[in-house]
């Protein structure tokens, strides 16, 4: 399992990474491995508001449809339109070309609520041990 050391995580396997004043959001390497082959990503619209800990995207794989939970609140400033034609990029490069949205955070202090890479790694290890 790969981790982005510059990102922060939710226990539900989403990541957030600061890039300038914006936050880039996607799902973790562990999440894409668990979902297996992603066949569709339902992206929000630019200017949509997302709310921390609320679903904001649905990702469909050959196994199931899953909600993607917002790691932080904010306004969507960009969506990764490439995923509409090539959702498998999330499987291939979840922290790079497989990013999902960029937001302008409405509450930057929420960053402090997210898990560090080390804390997230423990969550994944506990989850794997439980299976």
Maximum Cα–Cα distance across the chain: 40
Assign residue 66 the CATH number of its domain: 2.40.50.100
Each residue of 15-57: pLDDT tens digit? 999 999 999 999 999 999 999 999 999 999 999 999 999 999 9
Q: Answer yes or no: is 112 within a domain.
A: no
Instruction: Show the CA angle centred on residue 99, arms to residues 93 and 105, nearest 5°.
Output: 150
Each residue of 97-129: pLDDT tens digit? 999 999 999 999 999 999 999 999 999 999 999
pTM for this model (two decimals): 0.96
Q: Which domain holds residue 31?
A: 7-107
Each residue of 65-102: pLDDT tens digit? 999 999 999 999 999 999 999 999 999 999 999 999 99
> What's the rounded Cα separation, in Å, for the pair 72 and 80?
18
Q: Answer yes or no: is 119 within a domain.
A: no
Q: Tell me what pLDDT residue 23 has.
A: 98
Collapsing DSSP to helix, strand or coil, 29 comes out as helix
Q: Tell me what pLDDT residue 131 has.
A: 81
Q: Tell me what pLDDT residue 55 has.
A: 97
| Contact between 124 and 115 (Cβ < 8 Å) | no
Q: Tell me what pLDDT residue 18 has.
A: 98
Collapsing DSSP to helix, strand or coil, 63 comes out as coil
| Contact between 24 and 105 (Cβ < 8 Å) | no
Domain count, the chain: 1
């Amino acid at each position: 399992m790969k981790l982005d050391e510059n990102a922060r995580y939710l226990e539900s396997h989403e990541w957030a990474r600061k890039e300038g004043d914006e936050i880039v959001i996607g799902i973790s390497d562990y999440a894409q491995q668990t979902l297996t082959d992603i066949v569709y990503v339902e992206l929000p619209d630019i200017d949509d508001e997302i709310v921390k800990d609320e679903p904001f995207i649905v990702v469909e794989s050959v196994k199931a449809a899953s909600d993607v939970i917002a790691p932080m609140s904010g306004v969507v400033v960009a969506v990764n339109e490439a995923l509409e034609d090539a959702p498998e990029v999330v499987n291939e490069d979840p922290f790079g070309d497989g990013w999902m949205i960029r937001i302008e955070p409405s509450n930057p202090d929420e960053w402090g609520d997210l898990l560090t890479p080390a804390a997230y790694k423990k969550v994944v290890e506990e989850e794997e041990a439980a299976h």
